[in-house]
Amino acid sequence: MNNSVAIVGAGLAGQLAALALARCELDVSLIDQKPLAHLDPSRGSDKNLPNDQRTTALSERSVEFLTKQGLWAPLSQAASPVYAMNLGAGDTIDQSLRHQLRLDRRDADRQQLAWIVENKHLASAFQHSIRQQMSLGRIKLFDAVDIDKIAIKQDRVIIEFNDKDSLEMDLLLGCDGRYSKVRKLCFDDIRTATDYQRRALIAVISHAQNHHQVATQLFLSDGPLALLPMTTTADGVVRSSMIWSAMPDWVRAMEKLDHPTLIDNLSQRFQAITGEVHGVAGVASYPLYASISAQFTGHAVALVGDAAHAVHPLAGQGFNLAVGDVAALAECLLNAQHLGQAIGSRFALEAYSQARKIEAQKIFMLTDGLHRLFSHRHLRLPGVKSWAFPAINPVRPLKRRLIQAALS
């Protein structure tokens, strides 16, 4: 039975794919341009992790999959539940807070709406499991290499590196992000894309007022602002993850501020939500755009995560889409194995492609629609802002549908 898989891209999506497919008893090779000593028990320390201070929102469905993979137990203590979300719109934070919609876990009969996890904890859990799988010979690493050519010959994928070495595998997965080389080499980089002409400013802020596990999403005149509840530190520091999408010049100017000036700026703006801001860490920014690949699969090739789809961060669904990709792909490959089909066959991959394209389009339409709706000049009218969200508050069935659409 053919059972070898090459995964290009060793970010969180690539690592999760490697772990899930190794559990399907496939021989996995994980390939990346960067050195991966931190994943290799023979070369790096178990604690030698990249310092990633970003956060990820995990849906209930993603947590279920991580639990099945044995990855949630080490993450659960480091994850912050989201019990409610306040949505508002206005020219300023104070104005938007006066006209809010509150989505509560009780509206959807859930224990929590989502979980917020720091990327460094995700990376730690994934790394520990990969090192175990490597010790068992189920995952092999090929790091600090660049792909020069990809060819399909007699149902096999031949991957040629720029150092003239090569791999011959049964299936190739592109988990190499929004600028995927696998997508470019295999599908001629054909995709639909939307450039929002905005940047997202991200940071972890510590503040005086307890968030009580409530997230805040405000649609402001200078761009949407999200404050997501994080775990409180061992010494009692309350923290939130900030994602503020705005015009590039404004974001770059904020990013360049020294920490005392930035803290003072945010403290004045966020007073009504967080109280005084005490500290800021992990300040960075990235451009906002959305894209969906014209093809998710080809013969013996499949795209996963941002290589297949990148969406606006408004609903925090980027990594959840990647988790859904991995779960669907693992199920399709298991079905193919049970039916005696090659894992790179059209039969094995077509069901994956159809299911994930539908899901990616759904999230794209949701996030793109929200962006365009609240960027529209007519929604700057005070009258619209005053009733848009509050009108939904008493309508619990509609609130339940909103939660299911945005957070499932």
Q: In the predicted model, what is the mean pLDDT of the chain?
A: 88
Interval 263-273: pLDDT, tens: 999 999 999 99
pLDDT value at residue 402: 62
Interval 89-101: pLDDT, tens: 888 898 888 878 8
Q: How far apart are CA 81 and CA 103, in angstroms?
A: 14
Instruction: Give long-range contacts, CB 8 A cutoff, 24+ apart: 17-21.
Output: 17/173, 17/175, 17/304, 17/325, 17/326, 17/329, 18/130, 18/133, 18/139, 19/69, 19/71, 19/126, 19/129, 19/130, 19/133, 19/139, 20/69, 20/326, 20/327, 20/329, 20/330, 21/329, 21/330, 21/333
Q: Is 395 helix (H, G, I), strand (E, B) or coil?
A: coil
- Residues contacting residue 29 through CB under 8 Å, at least 6 positions apart: 4, 5, 6, 7, 139, 140, 141, 142, 167, 169
CB environment 281-302: b (16+ within 10 A), e (fewer): ebbebeebebbbbebbbbebbb
Name which residue leads in pLDDT, 42 or 357: 357
pLDDT for residue 45 is more than 80: no
pLDDT for residue 396 is more than 60: no
Query: If you average pLDDT over residues 120-138, what whole number do you get?
Result: 94
pLDDT value at residue 49: 59
pLDDT for residue 382 is more than 80: no
Which pLDDT band holds residue 366 (cuts at 50, 70, 90)?
confident
Q: How far apart are CA 75 and CA 80, in angstroms?
A: 10
**Lowest-confidence range among 170-174, 253-257, 376-380?**
376-380
Give the whole-number percent of the chain exceeding pLDDT 70: 88
pLDDT value at residue 245: 93
The helix or strand, by DSSP H or E, that contains position 153, with its residue range, turns out to be strand 147-153
pLDDT for residue 385 is more than 60: no
CA 131 to chain centre: 23
**Structure letter (DSSP) for residue 180:** -
